[in-house]
């Protein structure tokens, strides 16, 4: 029997057809995972986009690794200082990003925190939005008594190639459970898995209101606002699978 040939590996009877099919399936699964990841993170992307379009002249970031999501140059009407938009589920910590980068902040900035709740399987609602001006002196107090050297030691453990993932997790958690990390308001969060070895940080929900928005209520608001403008009430976003 003549062997079937062609450019489509899924239709070929050659020995490598099975492996080619597996590669195609893996690529499809990878793309689906990326799409799902983007979907469950859409709340933060939607919130930042709405802020940029509404208050900061439609500013578009030059790079996802730039120092500020919205630089001072784009903030012409609300203090001319950098802006850091963050979104979190109501009652949960606010993820701040890379710990070393956050520790190095030495200028005033606006932290605009939007909190949401899952209303239906496909829709979230904004429940509380606060805008806090953060001075560098206050930011430093939230980190005290952690020093840059402390963060560098923890970061080195997380990224040590000689340690397995499990060994790195165990060592990082052991260090995190000791002073000075247990005394600081800002929490360090080692992220260690097959795709990453990073040191991130966060601010607990209650700590945000205690230290950065002391006059604001933590309870859900009927009409959350930013600079007096109501935030769009709902947006489409599926629950995040953890």
Low-confidence ranges of the chain (pLDDT < 70): 1-44, 235-242
The backbone torsions φ and ψ at residue 48, rounded to the nearest 5 degrees and listed phi first, read -65, -45
pLDDT at residue 18, as a whole number: 57
DSSP β-bridge partners for residue 170: none
Give the pLDDT confidence score for residue 28 in this predicted structure: 46
What local confidence, expressed as pLDDT, does residue 231 receive?
94
pLDDT in tens, 56-72: 999 999 887 889 999 99
Residue 102, Cα to own-chain centre: how many angstroms?
Answer: 13
Phi-psi region of 200 (alpha: psi -120 to 50; beta: other; left: phi over 0): beta
- List pLDDT tens digits, range 188-239: 999 999 999 999 999 999 999 999 999 999 999 999 999 999 999 876 555 6
| pTM for the model | 0.78
Per domain, the residue ranges of the chain are 38-236
Query: For residue 140, what is the enclosing H or E element?
Result: helix 136-143
pLDDT at residue 46, as a whole number: 86
What letters, b where the CB count within 10 A reaches 16 and e where it falls short, cover 39-63?
eeebbbebbbebbbeebbeebeeee
Strand partners, 134: 109
């Amino acid at each position: 029997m003549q062997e079937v040939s062609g450019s489509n590996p899924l239709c070929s009877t050659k020995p490598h057809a099975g492996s080619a099919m597996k590669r195609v399936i893996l690529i499809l699964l990878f793309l689906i995972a990326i799409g799902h990841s983007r979907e469950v993170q859409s709340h933060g992307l939607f919130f930042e986009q709405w802020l940029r379009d509404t208050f900061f002249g439609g500013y578009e970031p030059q790079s996802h690794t730039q120092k500020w999501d919205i630089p001072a140059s784009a903030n012409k009407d609300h203090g001319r200082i950098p802006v850091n938009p963050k979104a979190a589920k109501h009652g949960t910590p606010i993820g701040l990003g890379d710990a070393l980068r956050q520790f190095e902040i030495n200028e005033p900035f606006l932290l605009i925190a939007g909190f949401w709740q899952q209303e239906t399987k496909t829709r979230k609602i904004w429940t509380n939005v606060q805008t806090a001006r953060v001075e560098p002196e206050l930011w430093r107090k939230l980190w005290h008594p952690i020093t840059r050297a402390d963060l560098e030691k923890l970061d080195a453990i997380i990224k040590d190639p000689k340690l397995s993932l499990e060994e790195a997790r165990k060592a990082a958690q052991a260090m995190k459970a000791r002073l000075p990390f247990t005394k600081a308001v800002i929490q360090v969060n080692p992220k260690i898995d097959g795709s990453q070895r990073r040191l991130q940080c966060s601010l607990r929900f209650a700590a945000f209101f205690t230290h950065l928005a002391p006059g604001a209520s933590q309870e859900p608001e009927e009409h959350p606002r930013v600079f007096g403008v109501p935030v769009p009430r709902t947006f489409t976003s599926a629950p995040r699978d953890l």
